[in-house]
Amino acid sequence: MQKNSKIFIAGHRGMAGSAILRSLKQLGYTNIITRTRAELDLLDFNAVTKFFKNESPEFIFLAAAKVGGIIDNVNYPANYIYENLQIQNNVIHNAYLNNIKKLLFLGSSCIYPKNAPQPIKEEYLLTGPLEPTNKSYAIAKIAGLTMCESYNKQYGTNFISVMPTNLYGPNDNFDLKSSHALPALIRKFHDAKINNDSEVMCWGTGKPKREFLHVNDLADACIFLMKNYNESEIINIGTGIDITIKKLAEIIKKETKFKGEIKWDTSKPNGTPRKLLNVDKIHTVGWKYKIDLETGIKNTYKWYKNSL
């Protein structure tokens, strides 16, 4: 991938896609193609086909997806499986039809079995039942990476699939109805501080453990892998370090300077007990994360306040 290569970022307004766009620009890439949903509906096969014929991209970062937290996944499972399958099918198939040089497909760590051994190795995929609350999304992502593998095998394409852990950072979703744990906690603690509330109610028991990767590190990893990884086998992207939701809440409470109490609504679901990725493979390829969690939360909270 050269500095003047024609690069299409699908989903450039999302958290992951916007981070990849920022990183490519900072690195001096000059021929980047983006389209808003109004300009190109990735759910529309004919529109995607026309776009590829007109633009002829050489490299694709497929970051476009419907994503959300537990509530949204539980309430709208049909939307999650339909929209993600449709986006993947349209982009990946047209990438093949137009002989693009390389495609990177962004999967998710939620594709792994709910009770997979920890830390989760790439080969644990499809060895057990999925977490029920996001099964539709996970199955769509599994279909996407299987599609990449299948096209590589049958057609000799160079489509790679990366499995990032839980992401956070600029352009995250802070809507309490559809956001993930970390941005939801930032929003809750910030609002509670502004409103002088005496407590913040958090979901579950606080005992589940999660791994968090700053989206700028994800972008760095994706660009690195686009240049250095050419295997059909999936590859994890993470820090290799996890933390309890309770400890995460305490870090965010401190960063937001909220003075009240933290309480836990144990009637709400915890989700998967633990989800930590094994990152030996990506370390072997030559990449490692740079942004520690407390620094990342500090920067994310600053971005959130500036966005209000």
DSSP letter at 260 equals S
**272 vs 188 pLDDT, higher one:** 188
Classify residue 89: in a domain, yes or no.
yes
The mean pLDDT of 4-28, rounded to a whole number, is 97
For residue 71, pLDDT over 90 is answered with: no
- Which one of 137, 151, 229, 289 is the catalytic residue? 137
Classify residue 252: in a domain, yes or no.
no
User: What's the pLDDT at 42?
Assistant: 98
Confidence band for 141, pLDDT divided at 50, 70 and 90: very high
Classify residue 189: in a domain, yes or no.
no
Confidence band for 193, pLDDT divided at 50, 70 and 90: very high
Classify residue 303: in a domain, yes or no.
no
Confidence band for 259, pLDDT divided at 50, 70 and 90: very high
Q: Using an 8 Å Cβ cutoff, are 206 and 264 in contact?
A: yes
> Is-catalytic flag, 76?
no
| C-alpha distance from residue 195 to each of 142, 249, 255 (Å) | 42, 18, 16
Domain CATH for 82: 3.40.50.720
Domain span at residue 229?
Answer: 7-172+212-241+274-291
Classify residue 2: in a domain, yes or no.
no
Q: How many Cβ atoms from other residues are within 10 Å of residue 57's Cβ? A: 23
User: What's the pLDDT at 88?
Assistant: 98
Q: Per-residue pLDDT tens for 164-184?
A: 999 999 999 999 887 888 999
Classify residue 152: in a domain, yes or no.
yes
pLDDT averaged over every residue in the chain: 96
Classify residue 96: in a domain, yes or no.
yes
| C-alpha distance from residue 193 to each of 29, 186, 221, 245, 255 (Å) | 41, 11, 35, 20, 11
User: What's the pLDDT at 177?
Assistant: 80
DSSP secondary structure string for all residues of 200-213: EEEES-S--EE-EE
For residue 68, pLDDT over 90 is answered with: no
Classify residue 203: in a domain, yes or no.
no
For residue 57, pLDDT over 80 is answered with: yes
In the chain, the number of structural domains is 1
User: What's the pLDDT at 2?
Assistant: 95
Q: Per-residue pLDDT tens for 194-203?
A: 999 999 999 8
